Amino acid sequence: MASTAVDTHAHHHPGLHHQFEDIEQQNEAYLVGMWSFMVNEIMFFGGVFLVYCLYRWRYQDDFYAIHHELNWKMGAFNTTVLLFSSFSMVMAVHFATLKDRMKTLMNLALTCACAFTFLIVKYFEYGAKFEHKLFPGPNFRPELEHLNGANPNVAQLFMSLYFGITGLHALHIIIGILIIGILMGFWYKKNPLVTEDFLPTEMVGLYWHFVDLVWIFLFPLFYLIPR
Amino acid sequence: MSKTLIQPREIPEQEELNYLNNGTSLKSWLLTGDHKRIAVLYLIGISFFFFIGSIAAGLIRLQLMRPTGVLLENDTYNKVFTAHGIVMIFFFLVPSIPAVFGNFFIPLMIGARDLAFPRLNLLSWYVYMLGGVMFLAAMLGGGVDTGWTFYVPLSSMYSNTNVSLAILAAFMAGMSSILTGVNFIATIHKMRAPGMTWGRLPLFVWAHYATSIIMVLGTPVVAITLVLVLFERTFKIGIFSPELGGDPVLFQHMFWFYSHPAVYIMVLPGMGVQSELIANFCRKKVFGYHFIAISSLAIAALGFLVWGHHMYVSSQSMYQSTVFSLLSFLVAIPSAIKIFNWSATIYKGDVRLQTPMYYALAFMGLFTIGGLTGLYLASIATDVHLTATYFVVAHFHYVMVGGALTAYLGAIHYWWPKMFGRLYSDSLGKVSALLVFVGFNLTFMPQFIVGWLGMPRRYSVYYLAPEFQAYHIMSTLGSTVLGIGLFMPLCYLTYSLFKGPRASANPWGAHGLEWLTSSPPVTENFKQIPIVTDEVYDFDYERDHREHAEEADSEEVE
Ligand SMILES: [Cu+2]
């Protein structure tokens, strides 16, 4: 036992925090922490998904009618963009394990670019809804043609859910861009925290895949409602 | 306890300093990563909010002395009981034992230098304090009148008080609790000292593991629910309010999905404290160690399946109610396992009647009453009669105050010498424990009766039933005694900080890694990370090997 302790001490890692004995312990603790955080996020989104499911169950017909107001082409485009960003994130983690700094940076930049594209598309989507007075609240006064025959109250409920859930998701995308940006800064500055240890990159990757995964559920639930 | 030691890395020459005097500037406290200092910060914050909540409780008891009320207008009374509920639940009970004693002692008990994420830990304190300040602002800026449950449509449509700010404050408290939970889970999984297997974890740590799971699984649900109420209030979108096409029972489902398990967030850590106290003051391994450990997890799991018992009088289907009723009864099993195992531990134990043990004994009696009266509320027929009466109030105060608060006081008396290196007067401690016990029972026992007779909760007057006055006067008297009992520790503990005799490393002769390090502990907890070789609460082992251990220590320390 004593000898192993001395061994790990010999490879003292620059990113090792004082509370850990060695870098393996630190990495494992970070992963457990990250997964607990993921579970917490799943429960958070789970709440709104539950609300969605109940009202979809109750108002299927009106939900079907009003969902035509969402632009499925833009949604599909955004889905593709996010799927691609997940791929570039996987590649970034892969090159991080190989300690290939340039390729990691390139892939992270690609992921960031995808995230921005997603937000820009979302901006135009939201803009169209505001234009058609489909944003819930006192200003919810859409023309009849934009209701597609849905009950206005249910249409408002649908739009509340749409804005609420995709808004929360967009917030997660923005946070993701910030985190990836910081990570890129570390890689750019050759900070040993990230260059010596792929775990920080991997954790950012986990977060990003989670955000993508939420969208994979959101897209069919809102844009592809069957009759 | 442990005789073989490893030397993980050189430790700088400041070992003589303990965590309290290692850096004295305000900045060294406010930017600390040390779990022990953060625990002390929490202790200060939590005591402050407990004080605020107690003042509100005092006002409630004063008001009910007379059938027509004494002091408060109806609106003010609503705001006062709301403040009492929100402050006591979100800012005292939920963080109390985990954030103070869990924070301080989990790393010490498992032989770690700190929690896994010290900066997250500090962040959780700031988020908690921010939430607390926001709620104080909401209170001073006119108050909130929805009750701590924020029921819709009152909270989202009709209340003209500071509901939004209060919801944000509760949201912040929830975030802080999630951060604590994530931190504990990672710490308990990955930071245990060599030899500290799951089967050797102190039951306090097991209880916090179960609590952390509830925090991580339950708190985000109430967070999103409160966010939706906020959306509804701000944008008038119809998610919960029937006027807008929503469903108020959906709110109740989502709210109680967290808020029933939250009861276990409050009481499971107390049960963990209880296990430590019983073992160490009976000098005996806890009877049925594994059963107590697993029953904590069972309570956490079952706790998620019983929320519908808060909704028997809502539009919930009666078949649903029947299932919820059955499942609620099942929670009694793991709770009873604990009570019986503690009793069996005391039996033929070498019992030391010191202050912490007084609290432990009080806990057993009071929690049992709280648990058993819960069965009246879990069975549908009696609950329909008792819903929203003082019987419910008395029941959950027996669980929260008789259980969680008593355990909190037991914990503070047990670990005070370790935390601050000072001893307090044991006789004063015993007097205060007795006052708390007597005062508590005098406060809440009459409420069972008056509730059974039909006194509704949340009423500021009861002039239609003046015969209830005797019970209310008894209750108010009891709360005064309780108040004195709670004020005493504040005085003699503060006094001991400055004038108390110095405590040795292990003043109780207790068993556990936290008693191996000095009192107060050094900044990184252990000079060397211990290797655990003996079983948990193994007092026989300790007795048999003490001499041997001392020899080995003196050889190694040189
Ligand atoms: Cu309950």
Contact B442, B481 (CB under 8 A): yes
* B32-553 is classed CATH 1.20.1740.10: no
Beta bridge partner(s), residue B530:
B5
Q: Give mean pLDDT, residues A118-122.
A: 95
Query: Which helix (DSSP H) or strand (DSSP E) does residue B303 occupy?
Result: helix B289-303
Rounded Cα gap, residues B444 and A174, in angstroms? 51
Query: pLDDT band for position A6 (50/70/90)?
Result: very low
Task: Provide, as residue numbers in chain B, all residues whose Cβ is less than 8 Å from the Cβ of A206.
Answer: none
Give the distance (Å) from ligand 1 centre to CA of residue B256.
7
Tell if the CB–CB gap between B185 and A32 is shorter than 8 Å.
yes
Residues of A in contact with B193 (CB under 8 A): none
Q: Is B16 exposed, middle or buried (0-12, 13-18, 19+ CB in 10 A)?
A: exposed
| Among A19, A33, A43, beta carbon nearest to B220 | A43
- Ramachandran category for residue A120: left, alpha or beta (phi over 0 → left; psi -120 to 50 → alpha): alpha
| HSE (side-chain half, CA atoms, 13 Å) at B337 | 16
- Contact between B536 and B1 under an 8 Å Cβ cutoff? The reply is no
Cα(A26) to ligand 1 centroid in Å equals 38
Give the residue ranges of chain B where pLDDT is below 70. 1-16, 541-558
Q: Chain A residues within 8 A (CB-CB) of chain B?
A: 1-2, 5-6, 9, 12, 17-21, 25, 28-30, 32-33, 36-37, 39-41, 43-48, 50-51, 54, 136-138, 153-154, 156-157, 160-161, 164
Best of B189, B239, B526 to disrupt the A interface (most A CBs within 10 Å) is B239
Instruction: Tell me the backbone φ, ψ of residue B5, rounded to 5 degrees.
Output: -130, 145
Q: Among all residues of chain A, which has the CA nearest to that of B34?
A: A19
Contact check, Cβ <8 Å, A18/B114: yes
Annotated domain spans of chain B: 32-553
The helix or strand, by DSSP H or E, that contains position A50, with its residue range, turns out to be helix A23-58
* 3-state DSSP assignment of residue B87: helix
Residue A156 has a pLDDT of 86
**CA B221–ligand 1 middle distance (angstroms):** 16
> Which residues on B lie below 8 Å from A154 (Cβ)?
245
Residue B470 CB: number of other CB atoms within 10 A?
Answer: 12
Alpha-carbon span A216 to A119, nearest angstrom = 16
Q: What is the CATH T-level fold of the domain A24-223, as seen in this structure?
A: Four Helix Bundle (Hemerythrin (Met), subunit A) (1.20.120)
Q: Are B461 and B392 in contact (CB under 8 A)?
A: no
Token pair in block for residue B346: 């005391």
What percentage of chain A has pLDDT greater than the value 70?
Answer: 95
Neighbours of A88 (CB within 10 A): 18
CB B402 within 8 A of CB B438: no
Q: What is residue B530's DSSP assignment?
A: B
Interface contact flag, B182 A36, Cβ < 8 Å: yes
**Rounded distance from Cα A219 to ligand 1 centre (Å):** 36
Phi, psi of B522 (to 5 degrees): -75, 170
Report the pLDDT value the prediction gives residue B476, as an integer from 0 to 100: 95
Burial class of residue B456 (count of CB atoms within 10 Å of its CB; 0-12, 13-18, 19+): middle
Helices and strands in chain B, H and E counts: 18, 0
Distance B149 CA to ligand 1 centre (A): 12
Of B187, B216, B225, which is closest to A47 when you measure between CB atoms?
B225
The answer to whether residue A188 scores a pLDDT higher than 70 is yes
- Ligand 1 centroid to Cα of residue B23, in Å, is 45
Give Dmax over CA atoms of chain A in angstroms. Answer: 78
Q: Domain boundaries in chain A?
A: 24-223
Nearest CA among B536, B539, B529 for reference residue B508:
B539
Instruction: Flag if B8 and A28 touch (Cβ within 8 Å).
Output: no
Q: What is the DSSP string of A64-128?
A: HHHGGGS-HHHHHHHHHHHHHHHHHHHHHHHHHHTT-HHHHHHHHHHHHHHHHHHHHHHHHHHHH
pLDDT category of residue A7 using cuts at 50, 70 and 90: very low
Q: What is the pLDDT of residue A3?
A: 31
What interface predicted TM-score (ipTM) does this complex get? 0.88
Chain B environment of A50 (Cβ under 8 Å) = 254
- Comparing CA positions, the residue from B521, B411, B506, B510 lying closest to residue B108 is B521
Q: Select from A29, A39, A50 the Cβ nearest to the Cβ of B116.
A: A29
Contact A36 B186 (CB under 8 A): yes
CB contact under 8 A, B239 and A43: no
Residue A102 distance to chain B (closest CA, Å): 30
What's the gap in Å between B161 CA and the centre of ligand 1?
Answer: 27
> What integer pLDDT is reported at residue A1 of this predicted model?
32
Separation in Å, CA of B8 to nearest CA in chain A: 6
Cβ atoms B413, B422 nearer than 8 A = no
Which of A48, A70, A64 has its CA nearest to residue A154? A64
Residue B222 C-alpha, separation from nearest chain A C-alpha, in angstroms: 8
CA distance B157 to B155: 6
Q: What are the phi and psi torsion angles at B341 (to 5°)?
A: -70, -35
pLDDT for position B556: 47
Q: Distance, CA B308 to ligand 1 centroid (Å)?
A: 8
B431 vs A134, higher pLDDT: B431
- Which of A1, A37, A41 has the CB atom closest to B194's CB atom? A1
Using CA atoms, how far residue B360 sits from B132, B198, B286, B367, in Å, is 30, 25, 14, 10
pLDDT for the residue B550: 52
Closest partner CB to B237 (pick from A19, A25, A137): A137
- Please report residues of B whose CB lies closer than 8 A to that of A37: 182
User: In chain B, which residues have their Cβ closer than 8 Å to the Cβ of A5?
Assistant: 6-8
Task: Give B183 Cα–ligand 1 centroid separation in angstroms.
Answer: 26
Please give the model's pTM, rounded to 2 decimal places: 0.91
Beta strand segments in B148-261, E? none
Q: Residue A10 has what pLDDT?
A: 42
- Helix, coil or strand: residue B501: coil
* Residue B422: φ, ψ to 5°: -130, 150
Of B199, B249, B269, B120, which is closest to residue B537 (Cα–Cα)? Answer: B199
Which residues of B fall within a CB distance of 8 Å from A51? Answer: 228, 239, 250, 254
Question: pLDDT at position B16, please?
Answer: 62
Q: B330 CB contacts (<8 Å, ≥6 apart)?
A: B302, B306
Q: List chain A residues with CB under 8 Å of B186.
A: 29-30, 32-33, 36
CB contact under 8 A, A160 and B247: no
Once rounded to an integer, what is the mean pLDDT over residues A195-210? Answer: 91
The beta-carbon neighbor of A9 closest among B9, B114, B189 is B9
Closest-CA distance of chain B to residue A106, Å:
30
Q: State whether A19 and B181 contact (CB < 8 Å).
A: no
Give whole-number Cα distances, B11 to A116, B113, B419, B523, B526, in Å: 47, 12, 22, 11, 10
For helices B390-399 and B355-378, give the axis angle rounded to 10 degrees: 140
- Residues around ion ligand 1, judged by CB within 5 A, are B 260
Do the Cβ atoms of B231 and B195 come closer than 8 Å? Answer: no
What does the pLDDT look like over A17-52, one tens digit per residue? 888 888 888 889 999 999 999 999 999 999 999 999
Cα B527 to the chain's mean position, in Å? 31
